[in-house]
């Protein structure tokens, strides 16, 4: 084999090895090694000892599965009101932090969702709340956040980097039966709570 062909063969092998190595990394591993996601990594690691009565989020993102992580950049976290991130990172607020981070995880790989219309789709995240995925001006948005750059493939799903932190209370309500039932249930629970408060006030009076 000529030196030129040998060099080409080595290059192909090295490139293939690098590709396989990258694909073998989990979402959690990639987040922890990405310089643009260090704040997200710190937030995830702050929940390491918290399971919320179920599987720890770190274990979910490290394990098998087909997941989509909407990953806020360092700049996205820096744009939060002063002191908000520090408050989340306190041990007494780990439950709230865990729920916020779970809101960034869709337990399905977006590429595998053949029936999803991403020009306007509502999907349920690990927190149990909806996020609204839609396209505008040739850009993909998740709620009010823009997806920046290409997707990052992982062994257990895909990472979509976004330019803002997501919050459950800003997810738009879709005009579909499933969402309507959820909204109706929430409204019913709210009304029942208000009635209960009123009844208590009457008894006290």
Residue indicated by tokens 């993102």: 61
- Residue-range domain boundaries for the chain: 3-172, 175-205
Tens-digit pLDDT profile for residues 135-181: 888 889 999 999 998 999 999 999 999 999 999 864 444 444 333 33
| pLDDT (0 to 100) of residue 168 | 85
- pLDDT range class, residue 112, cuts 50, 70, 90: low
Is the per-residue pLDDT at 34 higher than 90? yes
**Top-confidence residue, 5 or 123:** 123
- pLDDT range class, residue 204, cuts 50, 70, 90: very low
CATH number of this structure's domain 3-172:
2.30.180.10
26/154 Cα distance (integer angstroms): 5
Torsion sign over Cα 31, 137, 132, 89: positive
Tens-digit pLDDT profile for residues 62-93: 999 899 999 999 999 999 999 999 999 999 99
| pLDDT (0 to 100) of residue 110 | 64
| pLDDT (0 to 100) of residue 113 | 56
| pLDDT (0 to 100) of residue 137 | 83
Beta bridge partners of 142: 133, 145
């Amino acid at each position: 084999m000529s030196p030129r062909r040998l060099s080409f063969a080595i290059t192909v092998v090295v490139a293939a090895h690098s590709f396989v190595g990258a694909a073998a990394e989990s979402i959690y591993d990639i987040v922890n090694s990405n310089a643009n996601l260090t704040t997200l990594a710190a937030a995830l690691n702050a929940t390491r000892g918290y399971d919320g009565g179920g599987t720890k989020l770190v274990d979910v993102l490290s394990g098998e599965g087909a997941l989509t992580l909407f990953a806020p950049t360092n700049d996205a976290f820096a744009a939060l009101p002063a002191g908000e991130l520090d408050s989340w990172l306190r041990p007494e607020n780990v439950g709230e932090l865990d729920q916020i981070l779970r809101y960034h995880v869709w337990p399905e790989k977006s590429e595998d969702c053949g029936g999803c219309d991403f020009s306007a789709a509502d999907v349920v995240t690990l927190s149990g709340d909806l996020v609204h995925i839609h396209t505008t001006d040739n850009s993909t948005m998740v709620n009010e956040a823009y997806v920046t750059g290409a997707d990052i493939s992982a062994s257990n799903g895909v990472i979509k980097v976004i330019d803002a932190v997501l919050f459950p209370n800003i997810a738009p309500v879709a005009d579909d039966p499933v969402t309507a039932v959820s909204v109706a249930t929430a409204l019913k629970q709210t009304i029942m709570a208000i009635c209960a408060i009123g009844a208590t006030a009457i008894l006290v009076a």
